[in-house]
Amino acid sequence: MDLIRQRDRMRRRIRATAIVLVFLAIVLGISLGLSHLASATPRVDRRELHIDQVQRGTLIHDIRGVGTLVAEDVLWISAETEASVTQILALPGTELTAEAQILQLQNPDLEHQALAARSDLNAAEALLESTKAELQKELLAMEAALVKLDAESEVADFEAEIDEGLFEQAVVTENALRLKQLKAESLRSQIKVERRRLEIFRESLPDQYAYQESQVAKAAEILKEIERDVRSLNVLAGVDGVLEEVAVEVGQRVNPGDVLAKVINPRRLKALLKVPEVQASYLQHGLPAVVDTHHGVVTGSVSRIEPSVQEGGVFVDVTFNEELPRNARPDLSVIGTIEIQRLDDVLHVGRPVFGLANSTIEVFKFSESDGIAIRCPVTIGVASVSSVEVKEGLQEGDHVILTDMSEWESVDLIEID
């Protein structure tokens, strides 16, 4: 009997244990099921999301570029002759007048050339003066000879007249009279020749001076060029402005054309912006722009567009139409926004993280009433810096999550706390 009772108790214990195990299995299954349901519909804290509402109205189509402020007036100073740098007399940031000296260069050969050129010029000038003196002396001799002939001609004419009277009185023979008359005629002919010779000589004087004058002019021009090169050893600013860069060091050897320094006008600045090449097709001269200098916002317009793409972008100049903040300076980093066009009466919403123009993307549309966000496709038209045009997929008043939701790309439904 005891054995039978022990078997019954054992069976009851086994049965109770089995019931407990089954119960635990059911509870565990329910827990796993609830956990699976919870993971199938993730929950996201609303404070971590950027939610915007679809609106109908005016959309400003704009593009953004980053860049720096640069000077509009820039003077690059280059070497005019071969030389070495002996002194740097001004440092970057120094305000300069046009006559302020920046560098001192040296070229001993050039100084020797200047002395030789001055000597050559003095010699050419002396030879010109000597030539002029010789020609003037010759001219005076010809004039004196002509005066003497005039006097002799007058005497001969007078003697011929006297002999004519004496010939009538039979005092002088006909042959003697004829000799006097021939002498007078010869002197008159000689005077004509000498006068013509004198005229030709006077007319030829400029031509005789010309060669020596050309030699003087040539020597003067050579000296002028060398002296200009000598003066260029004193490197001046050339314009009023600020020294932005000194491109050489003391002791450095420079050649003609080498850049020595850069002088700018800090009061005339423009923005040099880099616009992504995919948006460069929208750019046009004269488009309005707003530039944030981090010390204030300034308006302007597009004044120049680079014709080529560089480093994945197109560089654009924006000229300002109002005064810059006082602390604006060259090389200051800026952000510019260029207005392309204004679209009236269109659906638009804030720009999603991956919202590219003229594309179809997927976003989560949020319902305020039930706290659920559902994935839906949306067709985008124009995309500006902060907004996009909605072509299809959303209606006015819809709420859209703009935050990057790539973490939940495998689900279509999200609960928002």
Q: Rounded to an integer, what distance in angstroms lies between the CA atom of residue 18 and that of residue 20?
A: 5
Tokens of 51: 């939610």
Q: Rounded to an integer, what distance in angstroms lies between the CA atom of residue 358 and that of residue 230?
A: 64
Neighbouring CB atoms inside 10 A of 208's CB total 15
pLDDT of residue 34: 42
Q: Rounded to an integer, what distance in angstroms lies between the CA atom of residue 12 and that of residue 130?
A: 152
Q: In DSSP terms, which residues pair with 3 in a beta bridge?
A: none
Whether the Cβ atoms of residue 63 and residue 279 lie closer than 8 Å to each other:
yes
Tokens of 255: 């050649």
Quick one: how many helices (H) and strands (E) in the chain? 3, 21
Q: In DSSP terms, which residues pair with 378 in a beta bridge?
A: 361
Tens place of pLDDT per residue across the chain (417 aa): 454 555 556 566 656 555 545 455 454 544 544 444 444 678 888 888 999 999 999 999 999 999 999 999 899 999 999 999 999 999 998 999 999 999 999 999 998 998 999 999 899 888 888 888 888 888 888 888 788 887 877 777 777 777 677 767 766 677 776 787 787 777 788 888 888 888 887 878 877 788 888 888 999 999 999 889 899 999 999 888 999 999 999 999 999 999 999 999 888 899 999 999 988 888 999 999 999 999 899 999 999 999 999 988 999 999 999 999 988 888 899 999 999 999 999 999 999 988 888 899 999 999 888 889 999 999 999 999 889 999 999 999 999 999 988 888 889 899 988
pLDDT of residue 375: 92
- Residue 329: closest CA among 65, 69, 66: 69
pLDDT of residue 162: 74
Tokens of 142: 């010809």
Whether the Cβ atoms of residue 251 and residue 51 lie closer than 8 Å to each other:
no
Sign of the CA dihedral running 400, 401, 405, 409? negative
CA 136 to chain centre: 60
- Residue 271: closest CA among 331, 214, 229, 352: 331
pLDDT of residue 12: 62
Q: Rounded to an integer, what distance in angstroms lies between the CA atom of residue 77 and that of residue 54?
A: 57
Q: Rounded to an integer, what distance in angstroms lies between the CA atom of residue 366 and that of residue 375?
A: 9
pLDDT of residue 300: 95
**Sequence letter at residue 102:** I
**pTM of the predicted model, to two decimals?**
0.59
Q: Strands 95-96 and 241-246: what pairing? A: antiparallel
Q: Rounded to an integer, what distance in angstroms lies between the CA atom of residue 400 and that of residue 352?
A: 9
Phi, psi of 11 (to 5 degrees): -65, -40
Q: Please give the helix or strand (H or E) that residue 317 lies within, else none.
A: strand 313-320
Neighbouring CB atoms inside 10 A of 322's CB total 8
Q: Please give the helix or strand (H or E) that residue 28 lies within, else none.
A: helix 2-40
